[in-house]
Structure 1
Amino acid sequence: MKRVAFLDDFERFAIRKRDVEACFCIGKSLPERVFNESLSYFRFEEFDWAMSAEFWPSVQTLCQSSGDASILIAVLEPDPLNYYKKEFGYFNWAELPIVASSEDYWALLNHCPDESPADSLLANSEKVVWLPPSKKWAIWGERSFEVCVLGGQEPTTLDLWNDIEWALETGMPNAFAHRILPVGFGEQLRQNYGVVT
């Protein structure tokens, strides 16, 4: 994968960071509400699926439904500025057109700095977001909880993903000792990502 997909310009990064902050509360973590109020319909999937070539057709479908021609893949942890840019000269944020192939997406995830194979997006990403220019939907992923959350303005774009009960019963338990969620975790997740009435 050519590095051209990765942001390396401070001005472009600042613009895209404002876009990300318009959709997400980047200092928060699940089960807190990490999406802003414009995205109020939620579904869940496995984090590992999002970090695979098989995920790309789903992104293409979402982009087509919202009229977007590209997607920003942005790692929030490790820090894109104070760690990644400082150490490697470019940000761990990349823009990919939806005409790219699954192989292109996989190559992007596997691309690493020459001096540090352990710093590919695939290997070193705790929190990742996927954001189209329209901001009609967005995805938040957390490796430690083993899930991604898809937030949308409309429920119609979310049909193929899983509901919150899947997240609580199947998607997230493996992230915790004895598959038992901490006291209050499920209740807070339901409060923040439950069905909109």
Structure 2
Amino acid sequence: MTHFAADEAAFNELKEQVHGTLHIGRRLPEWPFRAPAGYVTVYEYDRVLGLDFGSVLDALARGHDDDSVVVLGLEPTPAYYRDEYGFLPGLQFDRGVIVEGFAAGLSHEPDDDPTGRLGDTLDVVAIAGSSGAWGIWGQRDWEIGLLLTPEERGAWLETGVPWFDRDVDLDSIRSPAGWGTTLSAADREEFARQLRERGGGP
């Protein structure tokens, strides 16, 4: 089943689960993962919010024996979704329905209002499995999502959802200059350092 957080207490429970894997208060170029190192895979941000990304989450869950997967929207704030649309951007998918649940959750239109779709509106998203073995961090301003796993390769890379190695040139997958958020040279250097020192394996 797919479960939106019913109230703030339930949302906070999901937040605690994700917080065991990700530093939800951090933002790129800071290292968002609690694991000091692992293997990073890079996705375009829109791919992370794409309805077919559930196949990646399903493969991760199967590969790490997760009972469930949590998707947590961090920006806009949970209060924004609560006040504007009457729901909270925290979802939990039980094992076995992750593909369908993710697609349904990200495409949900509260009261038939498409402006509340998480797949279109989330600017920062954190995703983690119940095993705590892997995590995904996505930021719209950077236009990327990062997956950290303890293994360099796995079935999640074979789902058909495009991905990139950690040494990808960000300019090749981000919007042209003038269309997206400009990243400073210092931010780019810090991001590259984090990936170099922490993203190439334990």
Is the TM-score greater than 0.5? yes
- What is the SS of the residue equivalent to 1:154? coil
Specify which of 183, 192, 195 is matched with residue 193 of structure 1.
195
Greater helix percent: which structure? 1
**In the alignment, which residue of structure 2 is the partner of 1:72?**
70
Contact 2:85/2:110 (8 A) holds in 1? yes
The answer to whether the aligner puts 1:94 opposite 2:63 as a matched pair is no
**In the alignment, which residue of structure 2 is the partner of 1:84?**
81
Structure 2 distance, partners of 1:124, 1:178, is 18
**In the alignment, which residue of structure 2 is the partner of 1:44?**
42
**In the alignment, which residue of structure 1 is the partner of 2:178?**
177
**In the alignment, which residue of structure 2 is the partner of 1:117?**
114
Contact 1:42/1:158 (8 A) holds in 2? no
Contact 1:139/1:151 (8 A) holds in 2? yes
Please report how far the alpha carbon of residue 175 of structure 1 lies from its aligned counterpart in structure 2 after TM superposition.
Answer: 6.3
Contact 1:73/1:95 (8 A) holds in 2? yes
Please report how far the alpha carbon of residue 44 of structure 1 lies from its aligned counterpart in structure 2 after TM superposition.
Answer: 0.5
One-letter code aligned to 2:129: P
Specify which of 153, 165, 168 is matched with residue 166 of structure 1.
168
1:117-163 per-residue CA deviation (whole Å, 9 max, x = no partner) reads 21110121000111111110010111222211001233344883422
Residue ranges of structure 1 left out of the alignment (5+ in a row): none
Structure 2 distance, partners of 1:190, 1:130, is 22
Please report how far the alpha carbon of residue 10 of structure 1 lies from its aligned counterpart in structure 2 after TM superposition.
Answer: 2.9
One-letter code aligned to 1:23: T
One-letter code aligned to 1:182: S
1:35-54 per-residue CA deviation (whole Å, 9 max, x = no partner) reads 12355321101111122232
The count of corresponding residues between Structure 1 and Structure 2 is: 193
Q: Normalising by the residue count of structure 2, what TM-score does the alignment of the two structures yield?
A: 0.81
Contact 1:110/1:121 (8 A) holds in 2? yes
One-letter code aligned to 1:55: F
Please report how far the alpha carbon of residue 190 of structure 1 lies from its aligned counterpart in structure 2 after TM superposition.
Answer: 1.5
Structure 1 distance, partners of 2:45, 2:179, is 20
One-letter code aligned to 2:93: L
- Aligned-CA RMSD value: 2.7
Structure 2 distance, partners of 1:49, 1:178, is 18
Residue ranges of structure 2 left out of the alignment (5+ in a row): 158-162
Identity %: 26
Structure 1 distance, partners of 2:88, 2:58, is 23
- 1:178 and 1:51, CA in 2 relative to 1: closer, same or farther beyond 3 A? closer
Please report how far the alpha carbon of residue 166 of structure 1 lies from its aligned counterpart in structure 2 after TM superposition.
Answer: 1.6
- What is the SS of the residue equivalent to 1:31? coil
Please report how far the alpha carbon of residue 79 of structure 1 lies from its aligned counterpart in structure 2 after TM superposition.
Answer: 0.8
One-letter code aligned to 2:122: S
Structure 2 distance, partners of 1:155, 1:48, is 23
